[in-house]
Structure 1
Amino acid sequence: MSGRYLGTPLGGRPDPGLTGIVPEHLPDRLAICLWDFSWITRAGRGEPFADLDRAMAETVDRGYNAVRICAAPLLVAGTLGLDALARDLEVEGLGSAPTGGYYGRRTRWYDAPGGYRLDVRARLFELVETAMRHGVRVILSSWEYQQTPAFAADPAWFRAIDAVPLDERDQALGDAFDRLLAELEYAGLGDAIAFTELHNEFDFSILPPIERGAEAVLGWLGSRHPGRLFTVSYGKPPHLAMHRVSRALDVAQFHVYSYGVLDALQQRIDIRSEGTEGFPNADLRALLRDDAPTFDEYGRPADWKLDATVVTDRMIYGYDWIDPVKWDGWLSEHLEPYREVMRREVESRVIAVAEWARWREVPAVIGEGWVGYTPRDGGFEETGFGLELAEHGIRTALANGVWGVVACSNAAPHHPMWADVDWQRRMTGLVAEAGR
């Protein structure tokens, strides 16, 4: 054996120990199910969240012990004059389409037919109480500056939060969460909360940079509610420059997607465009269903609904009328050059955020992942390589001490993947085993 000195490597074996201390009343590991805002928007008769007790029981049956939701704090606990609306919200979805049916009918997360009224405030407390009864923790967040108000029939919710000056929005969210948490604690439900996010995907929402207000608000919330954890989530953390991430986070809640071949297809068909001349192009037209109307015939949701969400009219048209067999076929046919790149990208991103959390001595959470945004009926992420990539991300996260991890963003009661019970139980079983 050579006696040469080869240096001391900075890295070593993965450390499965938690990256930061977790409060004693919370589980050692969180297997997260992404209920998002759909507990509000898919709660009509016969829909996945019509019966919260049943939805929670199904969630537990698949092995999850945490759900992540939009708690709609500005609506249910804000001071923007929305109290009456919070107690009697008409859920409409994106509205009726002129060709029949409704916009978003085959677009993941937006396939909300609406047509019912909901006491969102009472329903939120029912959800947290139901979670506590089933032994499930709730991650509170807000999608209000990203999309949730777009599903209401009345624009008043969106108009009210949009009228808040940009640099005052963080404090408005903080004030609302402060009141909401105080009421939950008074009701004996405080320990059901795993942690609170000021907002989902802070970097992709209509909010100022975190250092312009949110950092101070997070510290203020911590002083108001000792022993509770406060953070924001990052939709795309700066994996190559993690020193730029705010140090104000009690939880390193990051999302890890690897679009790879999906991004190649999206660019080819120009599906995320706004105002592109000649839309839809020939490549997109070749993937559409035979009965697809033209883009002009289909029209678009009300202007205020599009202002209230990050999804464009072109994405709604494309995903509503994509032929899922053709979509999945293209992704599978062109996967090979991206396969290993996507695996390595997920692995490196998970390790980067876990190591940042360990450096900051805070628990790490992967709240969303793994491939990306697909049409509702597309099965690429739910089968074959998609499942392989998700398991790789989960195993990497657990091997590197991540506290909470989502099985897949598409694995929830309002997605077709909910039917794959065995796979979800196997993934949540990995999380449970890591916590023993």
Structure 2
Amino acid sequence: MTPMTITLWDFTWYTRTGPGQPFEDLDSAFRQAVDRGYDTVRVCAMPYLLFGSGLDTSALRFSGLGGSYGQRTRWYDVPSGPPVDGRAWLIELFRAADRHGCRVIVSSWEYQQSPSFSVDDAWHRALQGVPRDSRTVALADAHADLIDLLLSEGLAHTVAFVELHNEVQFSGLHHGEGIVGLRPSMERGIDRFKQRHPSVPVTVNYARVPVGEMRGMPRNADVAVFHPYVYGVLDQLVTEFALRDPSRPYPQERAFAELLRDGAPKLEDWFPPASWKTEATVVPHREIYTHDWCDPDKWDRWLYDRYGSHRRAMRQTLDTWLDVAADYALSRDIPLVFGEGWVGYTPLHASFEEGPVGAEICEHAVRRSRELGAWGTLVCSNAAPHHPMWNDVALQRRLNDEFRENR
């Protein structure tokens, strides 16, 4: 199988299409990707919106979370843009991929955050209206309709594979079951898609690598896809500042001293406009607040100061996860893909993952991906047109070339 070098375009390929934005011109975006050594893009193809919701998608409008809220938070700094004809833009994505010799991994973030970028709540309400036990089947039908459209346009050959949904254990696809409990639902969705398109590889993907629960992977998946975010020192920051645990008090004075910019408001004074949007995203208020108001130098310095005590454990965790993922794929005789990774979710203007430590982690992960025979991997999740790391052309070319070497 021809190796895939993946750049993560997620939902941004349709939320940032205005003048001067990274996806105003899809041909330009693909040219830049190919110049950096990529041959595959991974996207939220908004399948349920376009093929399952019944909504008019001829003039979709997208925006951020409201006002300045989220505008320094990675992925959420969405400016208002022109209307997008959803199906026409989807077809243009695949046509542009074809013109530039690229493949597309078709996925969905719809039960995580994609609808939060819409200017109204119709998409969100449509998704929530699907009973949880039926959601994987509804997504399978929507993806199958998408493939039908691509077949009619002569573009189905550009599809690398289909993921019913992104990071299923951290999505709205379940009632709180663990990964093992999710397996029947995932298998139903995959079977449903295969009934209509047995020749198109289909799977679901998982955040991290769920060591100890690999028996919960769907037995009918065609590709093993994992997102090994190791966190480590970043998890220490998330934990100490309770960024994802609203049951604990937020350490406001520590945050002022150690993370935030001069003039930052208190957490209790910084809220998004009252909106359904906060229900349509998985990122909690206090994490967005801290990302929005952090001083990037303070944030990075906090991580660098503590990285030494985490370095060995982070490397061991990453190696263990990659080894377990590869062993699982071999046991199933299916290809292995790392579609996201490697450190974790950082503020838009922070540069820990782009700096010398992060680059070393990326280099190691790409090298190990090659050694383990992965079908596809990525430089890291932040190596995409809508992130500052896109400007590090040399690193991306070098690691993508290394992944293909001797393959």
Q: Deviations over 1:122-174 (max 9, x none)?
A: 11110011001100000000000000000111101101111111111111111
Deviation of 1:227 after TM superposition, in Å, equals 2.0
Deviation of 1:434 after TM superposition, in Å, equals 4.1
Residue number in structure 2 paired with 1:216: 188
Deviation of 1:237 after TM superposition, in Å, equals 2.9
Question: Looking at both structures, which has the greater relative contact order when contacts are Cα pairs under 8 Å and sequence separation is at least 6?
Answer: 1
Deviation of 1:379 after TM superposition, in Å, equals 0.6
Q: Do the aligned residues in 1 keep the contact of 2:66 with 2:272 (CA within 8 Å)?
A: no
Residue number in structure 2 paired with 1:75: 49
Residue number in structure 2 paired with 1:13: none
Q: Do the aligned residues in 2 keep the contact of 1:280 with 1:295 (CA within 8 Å)?
A: no
Deviation of 1:233 after TM superposition, in Å, equals 0.5
Residue number in structure 2 paired with 1:38: 12
- What letter is aligned with 2:117? F
- Seen in structure 2, the aligned counterparts of structure 1 residues 263 and 175 have a Cα distance that, compared at 3 Å, is same
Structure 2's unaligned 5+ residue stretches are 175-180
Q: Do the aligned residues in 1 keep the contact of 2:252 with 2:266 (CA within 8 Å)?
A: no
> How many residue pairs were aligned?
400
- What letter is aligned with 1:240? G
Residue range with higher mean Cα deviation, 239-248 or 118-127: 239-248
1:209-288 superposed matches below 5 A: 209-274=181-246, 276-277=248-249, 279-286=250-257, 287-288=259-260
Equivalent-residue separation in structure 2 for 1:342 and 1:414 (angstroms): 27
TM-score, normalisation: structure 1: 0.89
Matched, 1:66 2:32: no
Equivalent-residue separation in structure 2 for 1:363 and 1:243 (angstroms): 17
Q: Deviations over 1:375-420 (max 9, x none)?
A: 0111111111111111111111110111000110000000000000
Residue number in structure 1 paired with 2:177: none
Residue number in structure 2 paired with 1:394: 366
Matched, 1:344 2:316: yes
Residue number in structure 1 paired with 2:125: 159
Deviation of 1:275 after TM superposition, in Å, equals 5.4
Within the candidate set 400, 405, 408, 2:380 is matched to 408
Q: Deviations over 1:195-246 (max 9, x none)?
A: 0000000111000253343212212322321321000010133123423322
Q: Deviations over 1:20-75 (max 9, x none)?
A: xx5xxxxx100000000011112222111111110111001000000000000011
Deviation of 1:116 after TM superposition, in Å, equals 2.9
Residue number in structure 1 paired with 2:342: 370
Equivalent-residue separation in structure 2 for 1:172 and 1:267 (angstroms): 36
Q: Do the aligned residues in 1 keep the contact of 2:7 with 2:33 (CA within 8 Å)?
A: yes
Q: Secondary structure at the match of 2:405?
A: helix
Within the candidate set 55, 58, 61, 1:90 is matched to 61
Equivalent-residue separation in structure 2 for 1:74 and 1:223 (angstroms): 18
Q: Do the aligned residues in 2 keep the contact of 1:29 with 1:434 (CA within 8 Å)?
A: no
- Seen in structure 2, the aligned counterparts of structure 1 residues 301 and 247 have a Cα distance that, compared at 3 Å, is farther
- What letter is aligned with 2:320? S
Q: Do the aligned residues in 1 keep the contact of 2:48 with 2:142 (CA within 8 Å)?
A: yes
Residue range with higher mean Cα deviation, 203-212 or 389-398: 203-212
Q: Secondary structure at the match of 2:109?
A: coil
Residue range with higher mean Cα deviation, 194-203 or 424-433: 424-433
- Seen in structure 2, the aligned counterparts of structure 1 residues 89 and 397 have a Cα distance that, compared at 3 Å, is same
Residue number in structure 2 paired with 1:11: none
Q: Rg: which structure is higher?
A: 1
Q: Do the aligned residues in 2 keep the contact of 1:347 with 1:392 (CA within 8 Å)?
A: no
Residue range with higher mean Cα deviation, 32-41 or 289-298: 289-298
Equivalent-residue separation in structure 2 for 1:318 and 1:254 (angstroms): 27
Q: Do the aligned residues in 2 keep the contact of 1:268 with 1:283 (CA within 8 Å)?
A: no
Q: Deviations over 1:62-90 (max 9, x none)?
A: 00000000000011111x221x1x21111
Matched, 1:184 2:156: no
Within the candidate set 336, 351, 356, 1:379 is matched to 351
Q: Secondary structure at the match of 1:87?
A: coil
Q: Secondary structure at the match of 1:117?
A: coil
- What letter is aligned with 1:254? F
Structure 1's unaligned 5+ residue stretches are 1-21, 23-27, 97-101
Matched, 1:116 2:53: no
Equivalent-residue separation in structure 1 for 2:81 and 2:12 (angstroms): 14
Q: Secondary structure at the match of 2:160?
A: strand
1:305-384 superposed matches below 5 A: 305-384=277-356
- What letter is aligned with 2:334? V
Q: Do the aligned residues in 1 keep the contact of 2:69 with 2:271 (CA within 8 Å)?
A: no
TM-score, normalisation: structure 2: 0.95
Q: Secondary structure at the match of 1:188?
A: coil
C-alpha RMSD of matched pairs (Å): 1.4
Equivalent-residue separation in structure 1 for 2:251 and 2:21 (angstroms): 32
Equivalent-residue separation in structure 1 for 2:48 and 2:131 (angstroms): 14
Equivalent-residue separation in structure 1 for 2:155 and 2:268 (angstroms): 50
Q: Secondary structure at the match of 2:83?
A: strand
